[in-house]
Amino acid sequence: MDSLIDEFIDYLGSEKGLAVNTLESYGRDLKQYQDYLRSDGASIQAVSRAKVIDYLLYLQKQGKATATIARRLAALRAFYQFLVREKRLDHDPTADLESPKLERRLPSVLTVKEVETLLKQPSPNDPAGLRDRAMLELLYATGIRVSELISLDVSNVDLAMQFLRCTGKGSKERIIPVGSIATKAVREYITLGRPKLVPDQNESALFVNHHGKRLTRQGFWKIVKKYAAKARINKDITPHTLRHSFATHLLENGADLRSVQEMLGHADISTTQVYTHLTKGRLKEVYSRAHPRA
């Protein structure tokens, strides 16, 4: 059972080019499924459709979120399709199983004023402050994911031409324009801040921690929480809040959906369309406040 899962994960990495985080997620989901089967005396190869349904009901009884159950089923479906294709099984027990309907949760978004307040918090007088300001400005200017931000090397940013090159989900590369304010913040960090944080001149990472090594996602999250508290922003701020704010503010100011999709690196435009719900809500607010007969 372990070897089948390992083969599948290797296949996703080598043939499909999925990101490391995605591979780890698939691995965790399948190992937990395997543990469930073992506790019930069943094996992956001898599972019926009814057994898969039992597993999904078991997850529901455990109080797992609908999104979590849908993700687990997607992992099982991909896994069994792989086994059938490789002729390890002659049937797919997940065939024709419907995924649970997901509630479309709207992401938390900051107002333009809140963004400006947040971006003013880092101190320009020390290396860490210059780094933090550059990171926050760059996130809001480009809408890249936090994982993409911390993966940037110095060579990925072209300050003269004002663009950056990043690698997103599925190892897909995209080029995104960078605004003048963010460009200035990154230039000041590279010139004045980064040399004081990086003792090793061979370090390629653009953003580093106090040890001079590449900043982690957890490290960035602590930084955001610190500045959100300092700015007294009472919203549910996540590592992706500036990404969501970037997309929403672009659409509110007339950007077309396809362009925003490309900058965000969404494979499917339906993922980007969630931001149109936010902008419609904003239009209703403006209408209610401004129209005499609203």
pLDDT digits (tens, 9 = 90+) for 92-150: 999 888 877 655 566 778 999 999 999 999 999 999 999 999 999 999 999 999 999 99
- Known catalytic membership, residue 36: no
Say if residues 276 and 251 touch (Cβ distance below 8 Å).
yes
**C-alpha span between 131 and 8 (Å, rounded):** 40
* Whether the predicted pLDDT of 283 surpasses 90: no
* Whether the predicted pLDDT of 194 surpasses 90: yes
Of the residues 49, 64, 169, 213, only one is catalytic, namely: 169
In the prediction, which pLDDT does 189 show? 97
| Confidence class for position 278, pLDDT limits 50, 70, 90 | low
* Whether the predicted pLDDT of 277 surpasses 80: no
In the prediction, which pLDDT does 115 show? 94
In the prediction, which pLDDT does 79 show? 94
- Known catalytic membership, residue 266: yes
| pTM of this structure | 0.63
- Known catalytic membership, residue 169: yes
Say if residues 138 and 182 touch (Cβ distance below 8 Å).
yes
In the prediction, which pLDDT does 215 show? 95
Mean pLDDT, the chain, rounded, equals: 88
Of the residues 72, 131, 243, 249, only one is catalytic, namely: 243
Q: Which residues, in sequence order, are CB contacts of 124 under 8 Å at separation 6+?
A: 130, 133, 188
Q: Which residues, in sequence order, are CB contacts of 218 under 8 Å at separation 6+?
A: none
Q: What percent of the chain has pLDDT over 70?
A: 91
Q: Compute CA distances 240 → 57, 109, 221, whole Å.
A: 31, 9, 10
Q: Which fold has domain 112-288?
A: hpI Integrase; Chain A (1.10.443)
**C-alpha span between 270 and 266 (Å, rounded):** 9
| Confidence class for position 46, pLDDT limits 50, 70, 90 | confident
Domain-wise residue ranges, the chain: 2-85, 112-288
Q: Which CATH class is domain 2-85?
A: mainly alpha
Q: Which two tokens stand for residue 144?
A: 């890249």
Cα dihedral across residues 124, 127, 131, 136: positive or negative: negative
Q: What percent of the chain has pLDDT over 90?
A: 56
Of the residues 72, 131, 133, 145, only one is catalytic, namely: 145
In the prediction, which pLDDT does 220 show? 94
Domains 2-85 and 112-288 share a fold: no
Of the residues 33, 80, 227, 275, only one is catalytic, namely: 275
* Whether the predicted pLDDT of 62 surpasses 80: yes
Of the residues 88, 165, 240, 282, only one is catalytic, namely: 240
Find the mean pLDDT for residues 44-60: 88
DSSP 156: G
In the prediction, which pLDDT does 35 show? 92
